[in-house]
Amino acid sequence: MDKQGFLAALREGLRGLPPADIEERVAFYNEMIDDRMEEGLTEAQAVAELGSVESVIAQIAAETPLVKLVKEKVRSERKRGGKGLTTALLVLGSPIWVSLLIAAFAVVLSLVVAAWSVVIALYGPALSLVVSGVACVAFSVVYILLGNIPGAAFAVGAGLAAVGLGLLLFPACNALAKALVKGMKKLVQGIKSLLMRRKGAE
């Protein structure tokens, strides 16, 4: 792909951003291509080093605040449909869209809370096992002082088993927490991409 084709595709893919942001990003990548060409690369090589247009657009979307995309969407809708008509539709449809928006927010919030509750619920038993295991090992000293060696051996064995099981649970909890954070990031990224795509399709 040549420079002009890359920049045109980039401009088209970024139509969900405010115009000033689009121009800033296009100018930035135009300069990057020119810099690489000054270093001795051909135009095609310089463009190829940037990656695909889709990956560049996805990276820009990830860096752009969701609020900015929503504001631009609302601004473009007002500009396209006229303020009077948009306001009238918002007011007349408010009993429906406000309740749907609240319900959607409540569902998303409950899913996030439920997911984090599972993670916390897994950390709780893991921590309890470690603490109770340490307590068992410490309590074995009492058995030794009383001369009950078999009881002390059992307490140490049970304590070490509990600590080991608890420590085995921690990596699983960490992996689940990381997966949850990654999933939430992907959800936000998907919403951003949807906003940019819908704007670009108009």
pLDDT digit string, tens, across residues 62-112: 787 777 776 776 676 666 655 555 555 566 666 776 787 788 888 878 888
pLDDT of residue 201: 44
CA distance to 1, 86, 115, 173, per residue, from 94 (Å): 47, 12, 31, 42
pLDDT of residue 198: 47
Largest CA distance in the chain: 89
Q: Is the overall model pTM greater than 0.85, yes or no?
A: no
Secondary structure of residue 34 in the 3-state scheme: helix
User: Cα–Cα distance between 173 and 167 in angstroms, integer?
Assistant: 10
Distances, alpha carbon 15 to alpha carbons 62, 104, 187, 200, in Å? 15, 27, 21, 5
For the chain, how big is the Rg over CA atoms in Å?
29
State the DSSP code for 200.
H
pLDDT number for residue 199: 45
| Predicted local distance difference test score (pLDDT) of residue 161 | 92
* pLDDT attached to residue 85: 53
Residue 40: which region, alpha, beta or left (left: phi > 0; alpha: psi -120 to 50)?
Answer: left
Q: What is the pLDDT of residue 157?
A: 92
* Residues lower than pLDDT 50 in the chain: 198-202
List Cβ neighbours of 117 (8 Å cut-off, separation of 6 or more).
none
Using the structure block, give the residue that is written with the tokens 């969407």: 73
